[in-house]
Amino acid sequence: HGLYGRKYQWIIAGVYRDFWWETEDESSDCTKEDLVKALDGYIATDVLTLSSSQDVTVSGLTASQYEEEYNLKRDQEYSRFHGYAYDGMWTIAFALENVMKKLAERQPEIHIEDFDYKNRGSVLWADIFREALNETFFTGVTGNVSFDGNERRGSILLKQFQDGRVVKIGEYHSTTDVLDLNVGEPISWRGGSGPPVDEIIKITVASRISLTLFIVISVFAVMGIILALVFLSMNIKYRKQRYIKMSSPYLNNLIIIGCILTYTSVILLGLDSRLLSEANFPYICAARAWVLMSGFTLAFGSMFSKTWRVHAIFTNIKLNKKVIKDYKLFMVVGILVFIDVATLTTWQIVDPFYRGTHQGIPK
């Protein structure tokens, strides 16, 4: 029904017999080729029949040495659970030994030979056997043998269907809670790019100014600042020249300083979280407002005051010589700057700048 491919990863119990997919099934219209195509890459969990470790077990043999002896003595008989039967006998032996120790410590007058299924007497046999079993731990041919709540904590074999055959890809050991994927073939994923996604992946990408654009604009802003500094130095140096003196050099200085601040605000407006820390970002935001508004007011306020003086002189219908001193123009600029300072200060106190993030429309 199409439930296979790159977007799907099947994990099933691997207790089926070998090549089970080749068995004819009259109730299904799937061919062998269809099954192989759908099964490709499925992962199966199965019982780990024998430990892959070369550790010496409680019997003095490694798991591989035990398997060799088993194959020599089994004749035609075979069970895939023979390792568990072997470890089961050792478990019974250790549990009985533990029971005898507990009886000797608690009730020396009672012996294991006095065992009674009906729990008659002063010993609760079921409880003492459960306690002894849960305390049993040893290294067997199937791995570390231990019990939790009377249940064996075993190991799980991980297999995968690759290229028409089932191969081992790893082991999981519950006693140590270790998943080992280095004891078999590497996992094969459809498409070769990792496991399929089991959820919608949300990647948050910060919306930032292009670094290239920021550098280009900043270069032009710096060039403007340098040019303004050149004009400022010329205006100061030649301030006593007739034409410069007539143009109010001190107001010219304010215009140039305003331009420098405005150019500086261009650079500040381009700074973002890529170039600044979160702690310093609110201060830069405040600096943007103060520098831009101060620069605009100084530059255009001075130009406005000079324009107003020219307007006042040439619109004098009485043709009287009307002198407007520079200090009056400075007062106009000062009033505008005072309004800016009052506005920005109130803004900073009532609603100070802070850094916030907003989720945009998902793409």
Distance CA 354, CA 363 (A): 27
Residue of 9, 179, 63, 177 lying closest to 169 (CA atoms): 179
Query: Would you list the DSSP string of 16-73?
Result: SPTTGGGS--TT----HHHHHHHHTT-EEEEE--S-------TTS--HHHHHHHHHHH
Name the β-bridge partners of 137: 146
Residue 191 pLDDT = 73
Tokens 């088993």 sit on residue: 70
Q: Distance from first CA to last CA of the chain, Å, rounded? A: 30
Residue 174 pLDDT = 86
Which domains does the chain show, CATH number per domain?
Answer: 11-192 (3.40.50), 211-350 (no CATH)
Residue of 266, 250, 244 lying closest to 298 (CA atoms): 250
Tokens of 185: 């073939």
Mean pLDDT by 10 residues, the chain (363 residues): 78 82 78 82 89 90 92 85 92 92 85 73 75 91 87 88 88 88 88 77 79 91 94 89 82 91 91 77 87 91 84 67 73 90 91 78 70
Tokens of 320: 């009287």
Distance CA 295, CA 262 (A): 5
Residue of 42, 46, 39 lying closest to 15 (CA atoms): 46
What pTM value is reported for the model? 0.52
Measured from the Cβ of residue 304, the count of other Cβ atoms closer than 10 Å reads 15
H helix or E strand, kind and range, residue 144: strand 143-148
